[in-house]
Structure 1
Amino acid sequence: MYLHMMTLFIINIINSHGNDYYKKCCKSGEYLAENNSLYQCVENKLNRLDILTNETDFLNENSDGDCVDVDVDEDLFTFKVIGGKITRKVAITETYFTKCCPLHYHYDSILHSCQKREDMTHDFIKENFVKVGLPDCKVIVDHVLKEADYDHDFNSSTRELLKNLPHYPASHCLDKTENDSFVLRECKESLEICEDIKCIKKCCPDGQSFINRSKCFDTYTHGLNLSSFSVIDKHTGMFSNYSRKKRKNTDI
């Protein structure tokens, strides 16, 4: 029953989003930094917020108009550009789509990590603004669905009913898997789920690792390959990881 509820919820996500058009101020992988009222595009090492658009690097066009981008505090703004200079910025209040992995990455349900994919499509995302991952979540439960589970048509009354269910996940992310199925990763604050499924305590928050550093930082591609641990009997099936640490912004 619970898996069926998650299935209905994914249908709701895929079918219910609208879409507008925006231009990104900087190149993909960059954010807009401000210093003494001057703006400069800088490499974004966190990638926790992104813009789904084919139009990037607007500031380099020397055109008048509006563009959108992320600032150093990981907030999204619309910037007014006149004569090649930014004259005004306004906070964006539109809804976000929470994707488990960065754009152009899929979620590997075996390695429990994000893997880059050149032919990755984002047709399941209808919003322009994307939040990546669940970095502040204590417990994350993976629900991997097969195509047969969500290849159905549900009417609006079913979706409205779903919103009133006790299992409706308030915090979640959605992404494609290595098999072009979908994974819904659900955020929980209680360890009660660990009584029913495998739970692995992770040193760093989800999406982060110690790789080549002494503290946690965003890497995304370093997950938890359960087949590497001989003490774990089953390496597949429902899975959860938890961490007592909260994400800290070390650098952007």
Structure 2
Amino acid sequence: MIEWQTIDTVLLDMDGTLLDLHFDNYFWLTHLPLRYAEYHQVSQQEANNFLMEHIRLYEGSLKWYCLDHWSELVQMDIPALKREIQHKIQVRPHAKDFLSALRHLKKKLVLITNAHPKGLNLKLDITQIDRWLDLVISSHEFNLPKEDIGFWQALQTREHFDPARTIFIDDTPRVLKSAQLFGIANLVCINAPDSQKPAKASEQYIDISHFDEIMPSTTIEQYC
């Protein structure tokens, strides 16, 4: 499926790709509405309506991913609320083996995420996935989300990767579309990012549920 001998750089999303998206979905759709209703003494329905209105309003923008923005909007400490359910932060199946195999093949492994640095640091502290990575980049460093082609231009300028010899793995089709427009040749979509929800194929990219479906061989025969 993937000709790993033609790949030098592996770009990886975090939430829904290396980590189970269930944490994020549970936080934004269940935990935050409950805590917002308690704190502001409003009904559960009012809390849901307020939060969903703003989630839809900012979806895909850098504000949507900015924890400082959300803390100001809801007048609550979002990073602290995330820590209340940090036990739900989990590495996805086969992710560690996948990263280990790629390191064995001396691929450059770069995590690129829209996660705000405060949320990113929490997840790295808990999962330690950065031990397998060469570099961790938040799109907030460029002030552009991955949905914006300007992000990819800034990333390429800084890291000097060859788009033709790069693979990008993400769970969001609109982000993969931006990477495709930039010219990244190999695109993989995680179709089951949330362990508590059924798979949903993108039907646009290489769709996988888990990394074992594209696990590279680490034997020398692959490169003969």
Which protein has the bigger strand share? 1
TM-score, normalised to structure 2's length?
0.28
Higher gyration radius (CA): 1
